[in-house]
Structure 1
């Protein structure tokens, strides 16, 4: 049976920092991370989606966390085809930021930024969350092939946002084999079950080392409204229990499972993660 690590998709989210979860005296950058790492064994670093990670920051993250703690690092937005703020880009890039020369430099800086985590044994995976426009097809296969070439030797997990990737048994088998051919771990998701953009809660295993489950919450405002509207959800026990046999089945087929909560409204994610650990521990 593989190890199951439960945590959240951020420890610096503004809503969490503004809640009462971090005690007085532990609300600075170092204190927050140490407080979090004393309570959970894994976290997703989502700040690396909005800005390239720095070597210094990764060194501090490694230094401030105990042995065995791991970070899943979200890939920078430009590397997954998302819109990217000009202010988030390093200076001196060509005007066409998607040109081969510009992308080479961005990939280099991203690799440098995560290297301290890799060297310290703190890198759980790099998460490539692709946008809804990336549908199955030749273009997507090319994108994944380039990603594999750029990340050779890295632990990588992939989340698709378009539901066609997992729409039926035939497509699921094709998608799983594509990820498996690149050594990528598939990301399973929990979200509102009946929206047009809903990705079904399938749990394929495409890498023997890692499987990932991300709980986005079940807000009907997914894809619309403010960030708070999209992620506002309090997981009930019965919703978490739906996932217990799936998570345990993943652990039976992989060395490690990361279960991460992304319902980042106030302290909802840390409370859901805590409850999920209790249910898994108690055999509920």
Structure 2
């Protein structure tokens, strides 16, 4: 199955503009898409009540991709409120309980920063992370090109396969070492992840701007660019039972429209979405 979704559910105004009530955005979101990426977990380990609420607001078949906490991937923006990595990982795993018990956890996404390059100590850390996660399905996304340099390309994929990492394939600007190419390879038979970050090459690494994080994801895929992915996704589906596709080009409100357009291009008709209630009057 191909699951198409977006990162987060709060910033997609085009989904909610026709709704009489915009209070429960996740429920409205789940009437369009069967999966979502939880980004709030990157900034703080979420309390159980949040995950429980989100689980209850979505259909039984809905799937969550939960982003790993920033301290787990070495971003460390601000103080990390844990005494050890072991404690940090345990707190994060505990926060996943509602998703797991409801059968709604698609995977945890480990997105590593551009300075996390291909070297021995980083490979060892990835192996430790995978061991800590146990049987929790976990996806791995790189931001440093060295992991897919010719000298390491096959070994990186082989390592991911041996360690049972789900491959996170990226469509992103090709802007030197701080970006990775599209690598259309699956590393597990059950799941693969594809993330669309946009192709704003000028904004991708322009960190001098105050709002650079908003600028870097400012991009709208055109139909031709999306059509490029139709056959790619079908190919991945032939190699893997479940293909998860997430649009992260949120800055200009383009992700929702691009997600819906891809669903139409692939002629996907989802069953068991949340009921859609429109009331203009």
Normalised by the length of structure 2, the TM-score is 0.89
- Cross-structure match for 1:214: 195
- Cross-structure match for 1:21: 15
Q: Structure 1 residue 163: deviation in Å?
A: 1.0
- The answer as to whether partners of 1:158 and 1:185 remain within 8 angstroms in 2 is yes
- The answer as to whether partners of 1:21 and 1:267 remain within 8 angstroms in 2 is no
Q: Does 1:250 align with 2:244?
A: no
Match of 1:106 among 80, 88, 105: 88
**Aligned structure 1 segments of 4 or more residues deviating by more than 6 angstroms:** none
> 1:53-92, aligned counterparts within 5 Å?
53-86=46-79, 89-90=80-81
Q: Structure 1 residue 140: deviation in Å?
A: 1.5
- Cross-structure match for 1:184: 165
- Cross-structure match for 2:9: 11
Distance 2:177 2:130 in 1: 30
- Cross-structure match for 2:255: 269
Deviations 1:110-153 (A, max 9, x none): 11111110110110100000111221121121111111111011
Report the count of equivalent residues. 262
- Cross-structure match for 1:32: 25
- Cross-structure match for 1:120: 102
Match of 2:226 among 225, 240, 245: 240
Q: SS at the partner of 2:85?
A: helix
- The answer as to whether partners of 1:26 and 1:35 remain within 8 angstroms in 2 is no
Distance 1:248 1:68 in 2: 21
User: Which stretches in structure 2 are left out of the alignment for 5+ residues?
Assistant: 269-281
Change (3 A) 1:223 1:120: same
- Cross-structure match for 1:161: 143
Q: SS at the partner of 2:152?
A: helix
Q: Structure 1 residue 194: deviation in Å?
A: 4.9
Distance 1:144 1:227 in 2: 26
Distance 1:198 1:109 in 2: 30
Deviations 1:233-275 (A, max 9, x none): 0110111111112111110011100010000124200100000
> 1:125-136, aligned counterparts within 5 Å?
125-136=107-118
Distance 1:167 1:248 in 2: 26
Q: Does 1:151 align with 2:137?
A: no
Normalised by the length of structure 1, the TM-score is 0.88
